[in-house]
Amino acid sequence: MTRIIAVIPSHLASVRFPRKILFPFAGVPMIEHVRRRALLASGLEDVYVATCDTEIADAVAGSGGKVIMTADTHRNGTSRVAEAVAKLDCTHVLLLQGDEPLLLPRHVEQVIAAINTEPGGDAWNATAPINEPEELDRHSFVKCSVAPSGRWIYAFRRSPSTAAFADQQRYIRKVLGLIAYRRDYLMDLSAMPPGVVETLESIEQMRIIENGGLMVSVPVEESLPSVNEPHEADLVLDHIRNDIEQQSLLEKVLS
């Protein structure tokens, strides 16, 4: 029987947007928007925030959230989550990015459904369509090539494909900040050294592929703005103002 928890790794030392995790939307820190939206999804046993920063911990705990304090030496969210779940009772863990305040609970539920369909898999990652040709070479977010079976073949920041854009859309997808692991596999993965592609391209998921793991694409229809740089906070606010579903979720988050 599966027991799935969600963990949101977070820290204050973001290079492009320092302290962004506490940036307020409608008076609520961004990390809290993510945590509260995750709690709206069906199928999760619990939701935790994993951090090394007491300021984040205080903000989350002050709102009734659960916090796990971790070391301040982690170089990525995967290793931070691995430390956090080492002593937790679960079979699978969802890693949610704390800079995606537009997270849709139904996307979380789609990943949960994929886990329950094949719980013996290694890892699952939500992916969305590529809508514009320039997105293929936009360095700021990761793309992946997906086999007909749903298995990831490769992940990259600039497309290595020479096919026409319409053809690339058939097998290349945008990688979203919603990734799940079988717990035992995550613990093994976190102990593996970073591979060449993971290191040089700064793509954590490539450790799975470079070591022969099974990474499955969980396709969703929407790609929503995340907050990597200060100006993207305005994109999030515009999306909330103009999207009925986001307005409804915001009301639930603030209630």
Q: Are strands 28-29 and 24-25 parallel, antiparallel or unpaired?
A: antiparallel
Nearest-angstrom CA–CA distance, 173 and 238: 24
pTM, two decimal places: 0.94
> Predicted confidence band at 197 (pLDDT cuts at 50, 70, 90)?
very high
pLDDT at 139 (0 to 100): 87
Class of domain 4-128+174-254 (CATH, top level):
alpha beta
Q: What is the pLDDT of residue 173?
A: 97
Q: How large is the average pLDDT for residues 169-193?
A: 96
pLDDT of residue 222: 87
- Give the tens place of pLDDT for each residue, 9-24: 999 988 788 899 999 9
What confidence tier does 40 reach under pLDDT thresholds 50, 70, 90?
A: very high
pLDDT digits (tens, 9 = 90+) for 111-120: 999 999 999 9
**pLDDT category, 87, cuts 50, 70, 90?**
confident
What pLDDT score does 15 carry?
79
The structure tokens 């799940």 sit at 180
List pLDDT tens digits, range 218-242: 999 988 888 888 889 999 989 888 9
Q: Do residues 25 and 66 lie in contact, with contact meaning Cβ atoms separated by under 8 Å? A: no
Q: CA triplet 146, 150, 153: central angle to 5 degrees?
A: 35
Strands (E), the chain: 4-10, 24-25, 28-29, 46-51, 66-69, 92-96, 123-129, 143-146, 152-156, 172-182, 215-219
Average the pLDDT over 126-147 and give the result: 94
Average pLDDT, integer, range 136-161: 94
pLDDT at position 43 is: 97
Where do the domains of the chain lie?
4-128+174-254
Flag whether pLDDT at 92 surpasses 90.
Answer: yes
Average model confidence (pLDDT) across the chain: 95
